[in-house]
Amino acid sequence: MDLSRPMITDKTPILHRLLTDAQAQLLRDERQTLADIRLALADLDLPRQDLDTLQQATLQLDELFLLVVVGEFNAGKSALVNALLGERVLPEGVTPTTSKVTLVKWGDRINAQAAGDDLALVTYPLGLLKEINIVDTPGTNAVIRHHERLTSDFVPRSDLVLFVTSADRPMTESERQFLETIRAWDKKVVMILNKVDILQNEAELAEVQTFVQRYADQVLGSSPEFYAVSARLAEQSYTERSPEKSAQLRAASRVDALAHYIETTLDDAARWRLKLASPLGVAAHVVEQAQSAAQTQAEELNADKETALAVEAVISGYEHDLGSELDPRLAEIDNILFRMQERGLDFFDRTLRLTNIAALARGDKIRAEFERQVLADVSQQIEGKVQRVIDWLVDKDLRQWQLVMDYMQKRQARYADSLIGEHITPLDNRRRTLIDSVGQSAKTIVETYDRDQEAHDLAVNVESSVAQVALLEVGAVGLGTLVTTVIASSALDFTGILAASTLAIVGLFIIPYKRNQAKTRFRDKTQTLRERLLQALETQFNSEASNSVTRMKEAVAPYTRFVRAERERIEQSQARLAQLRDRISAVQARIGS
């Protein structure tokens, strides 16, 4: 609905013809400021209606001064306009008679015509209308909600608002609410108390006037101009045949004081200030709404930030724990091999001796003693330690996913509560999608997490890695078996390789040499085994841990990226809106001076 176009009176806006050079420059500066504001606000994902309202208010700079009459139906708005015109031009009644916004402008004869589905155009030959256009609106509490919307939509385009309330029901709740809407648009308001003729005396009038002014002051934050009138008496005055009686009715109506205010108090300078201030008030309101929306978004994003930081702390703590706890756990495995190495060296010292020459000739016995005393239960110990590392890694991974799921579910619940009764924005939809996606991913992983299968798969990977990296010649037969098989096969070089006769002849020289050789080779073999085994275990477990952390990071990355990007965007928007508000204030100050 384009309500501004019918107001154009000729090709050169009348406002421009009345301006000094300084005023014209101020007008140009204001236009540029409003254009910059519209451009900036268009990038901030604001409702299209707000931008359209600002555009319409800007176009009003080219039109005559716009006086808008608002109030509840049956408050006497149309009657008041008729009283100011001096003739019954607009229809009146006890039911809602104004179903359209009615624009009253100057014309050389009285004429009424439709200018669209929601706009009626009335012309009237009144001198005041050459400088001011008057708008009559549907009631703010009309039963037909479409009527009320017309009133609310038209207020932002006004330069001055006549707010009409009735003496028989002054300042109703719906009127107070509508007055708050007007205040939000930073409009100049004149309070009109109509139907004062129903009051018994001046005392009643003073009581009602005090009541209305008190509420108007509270809502508007300042004391507006106030006029008490009787539009009915004014209408009777211009239908009364007796001049004397007509003058009495006109005086009793008190309408002349309001007309005098409009004609004289609102001189060119006053109208100029109000005309320029009007679109700035709209701009300030739109910017304030944008700032409020940005602040709301910032508060929601703070909750997102808390969740994102908590989730990142979980992952960071998980990563730190893996790094700090893995080495000590692997060191326990190395200790098993170190103690076995010490037992082996001691075994060679005790066994490869000249006094034991008879036993040395029996390799099977020496080998059996070596397995019993040195290898002992090394296989089971290593298997157990490795399994505990696997269990620790699997359980820790599950616990971290549970924590991520808990944080996301809490954010889901908190966010859902905050949306009840609220308008859903595109940002809300993006946030909800990401929160639901990450939360569902974590929930799915937790609910489908097969701990036994995860542990089995990890054990297979570890054994395969050890077999490939540390024990190339051995198949995957169990980690502990892999280790003890290599050690046992190495022992074959040191036991049962000497014939009894040889030992009897040269035992005094051979045995010490063989003992040292056996110890050296055993030490080297076991040391190499320890290093390669630990390297293989460390590589595999670190790889598994890294994969777990990476998977978790990738799952939450879309949400954390969203939070950071939106926080940066909101901070930039808030800074930009503050700059726009400063520009509006600067132009308003110039208008005021």
Q: Cα-atom radius of gyration of the chain, to the nearest Å? A: 46
Across the range 251-265, mean pLDDT stands at 85
Per-residue pLDDT tens over the stretch 128-147: 788 788 888 877 665 455 55
Per-residue pLDDT tens over the stretch 326-343: 889 889 988 988 998 898
Question: Has residue 1 been placed in a domain?
Answer: no
Contact 124, 106 (CB under 8 A): yes
Contact 137, 77 (CB under 8 A): yes
- Rounded to 10 degrees, the C-alpha dihedral 328/330/336/339 comes to -60
pLDDT at 195: 92
Contact 193, 209 (CB under 8 A): yes
φ, ψ for residue 484 (rounded to 5)? Answer: -70, -30
Q: What would the two tokens of residue 226 be?
A: 């106030």
More confident residue, 73 or 191: 191
Question: Has residue 334 been placed in a domain?
Answer: yes
Q: Which residue has the tokens 């004289």?
A: 264
Question: Has residue 579 been placed in a domain?
Answer: no
- The mean-pLDDT minimum among 22-31, 97-106, 181-190 falls in 97-106
Alpha carbon distance 84, 262 (integer Å): 10
222 and 355 share one domain: no
More confident residue, 59 or 287: 287
pLDDT at 8: 34
409 and 519 share one domain: yes
Residue % of the chain over a pLDDT of 90? 7
188 and 89 share one domain: yes
pLDDT at 316: 92
483 and 430 share one domain: yes
pLDDT at 150: 61
pLDDT at 315 over 60: yes
pLDDT at 94 over 60: no
Alpha carbon distance 136, 269 (integer Å): 24
Question: Has residue 15 been placed in a domain?
Answer: no
pLDDT at 500: 46
Q: What would the two tokens of residue 564 be?
A: 């950071």
Question: Has residue 27 been placed in a domain?
Answer: no
Question: Has residue 24 been placed in a domain?
Answer: no
pLDDT at 164: 92
pLDDT at 510: 64
More confident residue, 307 or 525: 307
223 and 92 share one domain: yes
256 and 329 share one domain: no
Across the range 228-238, mean pLDDT stands at 88
548 and 407 share one domain: yes
Question: Has residue 576 been placed in a domain?
Answer: no
Total of domains in the chain: 2
The DSSP call for residue 5 is: G
Per-residue pLDDT tens over the stretch 489-509: 655 555 444 444 444 444 555
CATH code of residue 245: 3.40.50.300
Question: Has residue 367 been placed in a domain?
Answer: yes
| pLDDT category of residue 191 using cuts at 50, 70 and 90 | very high
244 and 330 share one domain: no
Per-residue pLDDT tens over the stretch 409-449: 888 887 766 655 556 667 777 778 888 888 788 788 788 87
How far is residue 272 from each of residues 4, 157, 258, 414, measured CA to CA in Å? Answer: 18, 15, 19, 50
205 and 122 share one domain: yes
**pTM of the prediction?**
0.63
- Mean pLDDT of the residues in the chain: 79
Domain span including residue 85: 64-266
pLDDT at 152 over 70: no
pLDDT at 505: 46
